[in-house]
Amino acid sequence: MIHYFTNRELAQKLEINLARWKRWSRSFLPPDPLGGMQSGYARQYLFKDLFKVFFGGYLMGHLKLSVADSRKVLDDLSPWLEKNGFYDWNSSDKEKKETGGLLADVWVYFCPFASTGAEPELRYLIRRVLDVQSADSAQGRRTVVTYEEDFIPEEEFSAVDVLRHPDMHGINFSALHANVVAKLL
C-alpha cells in the first residue's frame, strides 16, 4: 500500500518546525504538480520525497552546508540511495526477512576536491559494514571490521584521500534512515 504524508503530519512526527519543513521542501523538491500555494491542495509526500527533504534538511541544519551544496550532495547520492533501498519505505523490512538483521551499518563520507570549474567537486566514500569481530589480545581490546566500499564518482581516489581531508563530513546513513522510519510508524 502506498502511504502519503502531508506537511503538517510530517512536521509533527519528525519533530521539525512546520515552516522549516516547508522551506526545506521548496528547496529540495520540484514544484508540486497539483498546484501552487493557493490551489487548495496540500502537498503529499511519498517516502522517497520526504526522505530527500529530510536528508537535505539534515545537511543544512546539522552539517551547516548551503542549500546549493546540499542539493549537489542529494543529486550525487540519489542514484546510489535509490539502488540501495534508502528511498524505499519497506527496505528495512525486506532486508530483515532476507538476512535476519536490519540494514548493515552504512556510513557516507564526503569532502570537496579541487576542480577546474567554478563549483567544487565532491568525492564520496560509502562504507557498508559487512562483519565485526572482537579480537582481544595482550595489548587490549580490539575490533576487526570488514567493509565494502563504494566510491562516487568512480575515479582514481582512495578512502584515505577522503578520510584525511580536513573538510570531510561523515554520516551514519543507516541510523538516519532508521530514525526517520521509526518516527513515522
pLDDT tens for the chain, 185 residues long, are: 678 899 999 999 999 999 999 999 999 999 887 766 666 678 889 999 999 999 999 999 999 999 999 999 999 999 999 998 898 877 555 454 444 334 478 999 999 886 666 677 899 999 999 888 887 777 788 888 899 999 998 877 889 989 999 999 999 999 999 999 999 98
In sign, the C-alpha dihedral spanning 23, 176, 126, 87 is negative
Phi, psi of 162 (to 5 degrees): -80, -50
Domain range enclosing 34:
5-184
- Alpha helix ranges (H) inside 15-144: 18-28, 47-61, 67-83, 91-99
Exposed/middle/buried for residue 48 (C-beta within 10 Å: 0-12, 13-18, 19+): middle
- The CA angle 84-90-95, to the nearest 5 degrees, is 60
pTM of the shown model: 0.85
Closest CA to 59 of 86, 15, 128, 51: 51
Cell numbers linked to 120 = 567544487
Distance CA 17, CA 11 (A): 6
Domain count, the chain: 1
